[in-house]
Structure 1
């Protein structure tokens, strides 16, 4: 019997730490880093770093919904970064470091919007959540040297990670 996996796409600043943490989450089958949410076709890392492509550094997940729910992934997403800072995470500044949830279906959109409303109502953060919620578009896989970057380099402290 084959499993039906689902997709989720999140942007939470520097994608190396986000990818590594999601890979550690039970039920996540695969994670890859890349770029999404912009207008430039097939952007490179250097182009995205110019903050002119409109793309965010993002992580695309394949997950098993019988082992981890989208809501659980959302909880982890909000723990990984500061969703109250517009276009920045720690020292990383620019729209490519924005906080965003790129939904793949109506239920993901609803779950994301509801969670943001609940986080704001509960004042979980000192400031309001500014996370963008937008439909998933084309995901451009980043260059190979970015995939599993921490595994390849052992440099876990090389980008902002809450």
Structure 2
């Protein structure tokens, strides 16, 4: 036995150290794999109502209507867009800024807390809108509104 240890002792000790190091690294790599594992953020047991409200509401495509509006008429801000299948998910549309052709602010055109627009002069106006979805999510949109003299 003494001869075997003398001849192969260094090899046996080196092999034991190598097995120990490999075991250590395999444990570290397993822990790293678990740490960076792709996990579902919300599992079935979690009660995250805000996320549940967002995930099931389809966002509508906001396409401006190609319409010519008349001066001295109220325009409902929500009627500036074409109806789509997802339009039912829109709770309200509010205008927050109006610019004329020269880029001057014309916020006096905004009536009823942004729900309606009233144009006294003809021109092409740029309207900035906030669209609120039924789940509380908000989209922002910019559209052009062509206003003609009332006939």
Q: Same fold (TM over 0.5)?
A: no
More helix by share: 2
Q: Which has the larger radius of gyration?
A: 2
Question: TM-score of the superposition, structure 1-length normalised?
Answer: 0.23
Report the structure, 1 or 2, having the larger strand content: 2
TM-score, normalising length: structure 2: 0.24
Task: Answer 1 or 2: higher relative contact order, Cα 8 Å, separation at least 6.
Answer: 1
